[in-house]
Amino acid sequence: MPQTSATNRRIVLAERPIGQPDEKTLRLETTSVPEPGPEEMLVRTEYLSLDPYMRGRMNDAKSYAEPVPIGGVMTGQVVGQVVQSNIEEYEAGDYVLSPSGWQDFAVSDGTQIVNLGKSPENPSWALGILGMPGYTAYAGLLKIGEPKAGETVVVAAAAGPVGATVGQIAKLKGCRVVGIAGGSEKCAHVVENLGFDMCLDHRSDDLAAQLREACPDGIDVYFENVGGKVLYAVLPLLNPFARVPVCGMVSWYNLPSLPDGPDMGPAIIGTVLRMKVKMQGFIIYDSFGPEVYQEFARDMTGWLEDGSVNYKEHVVDGLENAPEAFNQLLAGGNFGKMVVKVG
């Protein structure tokens, strides 16, 4: 059913998944629309962001953030519109970036809210290229990867919102960029529309051999957000003092236990040691200060305005379709930044 002003649809965590989430993991509920109190406002969701990190929030395990409680609304950033406000800094009609989660309406006291104004040109971009994914790409590559002109940069999930941005920034910095994506259509987009030098299909049986041929001078920067066989193909090609920013490992998120097969730990740690590799994990809003965000906002806005960076969205219609879309995302079924059009 569509969004209405009379009810609040919300998707809650019904049970913790073992492996891939299924139809029992999330539950759609309908409740009354909440009322804002003093110094509060009511926000109606327009767009919901779907991101791989949400899979980790379903687990009751130690992490950088608290897990979603059973029966709790699934966490997530949204772009919404203020319906009613009792906060001086906000008024009805303002678009806001909010951690409202997977629901139609939420009450907020203004904490962790960004006012986007009355008429942002592309409101959903605050969830992508001008938001967390774009900032992740910018800071991870430039502050940890430290690419230098002439170096070879390899980017996993190159057609996704983070990888696509990493590769385009690396090209702007004068690097040779090799992307890795899933399928010929995505690979063609990465080369033809995003300007990568090459793109390899990770579904190929001979990915490791193709990567060796594509990187005859080795790999200086590998932007890691996938793990799995892509990481294993990259390892032997890392140059001395290579840099590996680590922002995710989506191919492993649904594993109920350690993967079958040989223990790759010695190969990974051995390469880090022998090649003097800097491998650094980061959580974007915990790892960098406001000055880095200001640099990002300035540079990315300029690149978008002059056409140096291209951006692609994958829009799913309807909150009720978010759980299925989320599983597609984890399986690499998205083409660009996945957002749900809720309002």
Tell me what pLDDT residue 197 has.
98
Average pLDDT in the chain: 95
Specify whether 140 is located in the same domain as 271: yes
**Mean pLDDT across the stretch 58-74?**
93
Give the pLDDT band of residue 190 (cuts 50, 70, 90). Answer: very high
Percent of the chain with pLDDT over 70: 100
Say if residue 99 is in the same domain as residue 207.
no
Q: Are residues 157 and 263 in the same domain?
A: yes
CA gap 209, 206 in Å, rounded? 5
* Domain identity same for 169 and 277: yes
Q: Kindly report, residue by residue over 85-99, the tens digit of the pLDDT.
A: 999 999 999 999 999
| 262-278 pLDDT per residue, tens | 888 898 999 999 999 99
Show the domain range for 146: 132-285
pLDDT of the residue at 257: 82
DSSP characters over 163-201: HHHHHHHHHHTT-EEEEEESSHHHHHHHHHTT--SEEEE
Phi, psi of 142 (to 5 degrees): -80, -35
pLDDT of residue 262: 84
Buried/exposed 111-150: b ≥16 CB within 10 Å, e otherwise: eebeebeeeeeebbbbbbbbbbbbbbbbbbbbebbebeee
207 has pLDDT over 80: yes
Whether pLDDT at 252 is above 90: no
**Do 164 and 272 belong to one domain?**
yes
* Residues 174 and 115 grouped into a single domain: no
Task: State the pLDDT at residue 162.
Answer: 97
The domain that holds 278 is classified in CATH as 3.40.50.720
CA distances from 67 to 14, 81, 151, 327 (A): 13, 27, 39, 18
Provide the pLDDT for residue 263.
86
Same domain, 115 and 201: no
Report the CATH number that the domain containing residue 53 is assigned in CATH: 3.90.180.10
Mean pLDDT of 216-242: 97
Distance CA 256, CA 18 (A): 6
Is the per-residue pLDDT at 253 higher than 90?
Answer: no
202 burial (CB, 10 Å; 0-12 / 13-18 / 19+) is buried
Same domain, 146 and 173: yes
Strand pairing class (152-155; 176-181): parallel
| 1, pLDDT greater than 80 | no
pLDDT, residue 255, reads 84
Could you tell me the pTM of the whole model? 0.91
Given pLDDT bands bounded at 50, 70 and 90, which one contains residue 63? Answer: confident
Is 301 within a domain?
A: no
Question: Are 11 and 37 in a shared domain?
Answer: yes
pLDDT beyond 90 at 256? no
pLDDT at 5 over 90: no
pLDDT at res. 264: 87
Q: Is the pLDDT of residue 45 over 90?
A: yes
* Number of structural domains in the chain: 2
- For the segment 126-176, what is each residue's pLDDT rounded down to a tens digit? 999 999 999 999 999 999 999 999 999 999 999 999 999 999 999 999 999
